[in-house]
C-alpha cells in the first residue's frame, strides 16, 4: 500500500552559491560524510549535492512533514549501490517516524542536468 509520494526540483546554481558562501558549515549541516565524499568525486559536485538535497525534501513531502518539524536533513542520507542505484538511509528522528508509521519500503529515484536536479520518493506500508 502506498503511504506517500514526494517530488522536488533543485536549481543546482542555487546550491553552488550557498556552498561558495558557507562552505563546510552548510555541507556538514545538511549532508553526511558519505554524501559529501560521493559528490566531491564528481567534476560538478553541485549537481549531485542538488540531487541529494531534492531527495531529502522529497522524503519530507512523502512523509507529509516540513522542515522545522524535528527531522534533520542530515538524518536523511542518500547512498548509492555499486550499480549506481540510490537509496535512502535514515537515522534519528527520520528513522523513528518511519518506524512509527509502519513504513516498510522506501523507493528513491534521482535525475539531473547541469542546471537542475530532481528526486522522487515513494513510501510503502505493508
Ligand atoms: C541509471 C542511468 C539510466 C542514469 O541515467 P542518466 O540519464 O545517465 O542520468 P540521470 O541524471 O537521469 O540520473 C542520474 C542518477 O541516476 C541514479 N542511478 C545511477 N545508476 C542507477 C541504477 N543502476 N539504477 C537506478 N538509478 C541509478 C543515480 O542516483 C544518479 O545520480 P547520482 O549519481 O547523483 O546518485 C544510467 O546511468 C545507466 O544506464 N546506468 C546503467 C548502470 C551502469 O552502467 N552502472 C555502472 C556501474 S556497474
Please tell me the residue having the least CA distance from ligand 1 atom 26: 85
Does the beta carbon of 125 lie inside 6 Å of ligand 1?
no
Residue 3, φ and ψ in degrees, nearest 5: -90, -40
Output DSSP code: residue 72.
-
pLDDT 10s per residue in the chain (126 long)? 999 999 999 999 999 999 999 999 999 999 999 999 999 999 999 999 999 999 999 999 999 998 888 899 999 999 999 999 999 999 999 999 999 999 999 999 999 999 999 999 999 998
What residues does each domain of the chain span?
2-125
Which superfamily is assigned to 2-125 in CATH?
Answer: 4'-phosphopantetheinyl transferase domain (3.90.470.20)
Taking the centre of ligand 1 as the mean of its atom positions, its distance from the CA of residue 69, in whole angstroms, is: 32
Closest ligand 1 atom to residue 113 Cα is 11
Closest ligand 1 atom to residue 112 Cα is 11
Measured CA to CA in angstroms, residue 24 lies from 29, 34, 107, 115 at distances of 8, 14, 29, 22
Amino acid at each position: 500500500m502506498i503511504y506517500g509520494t514526494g517530488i522536488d526540483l533543485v536549481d543546482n546554481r542555487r546550491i553552488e552559491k550557498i556552498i561558495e558562501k558557507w562552505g563546510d558549515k552548510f555541507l556538514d549541516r545538511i549532508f553526511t560524510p558519505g554524501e559529501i565524499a560521493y559528490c566531491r568525486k564528481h567534476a560538478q559536485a553541485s549537481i549531485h549535492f542538488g540531487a541529494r538535497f531534492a531527495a531529502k525534501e522529497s522524503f519530507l513531502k512523502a512523509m507529509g512533514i516540513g522542515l522545522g518539524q524535528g527531522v534533520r536533513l542530515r538524518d536523511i542520507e542518500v547512498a548509492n549501490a555499486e550499480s549506481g542505484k540510490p537509496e535512502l538511509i535514515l537515522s534519528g528522528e527520520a528513522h523513528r517516524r518511519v518506524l512509527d508509521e509502519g513504513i516498510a519500503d522506501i523507493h528513491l529515484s534521482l535525475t539531473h542536468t547541469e542546471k537542475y536536479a530532481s528526486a522522487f520518493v515513494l513510501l510503502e506500508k505493508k
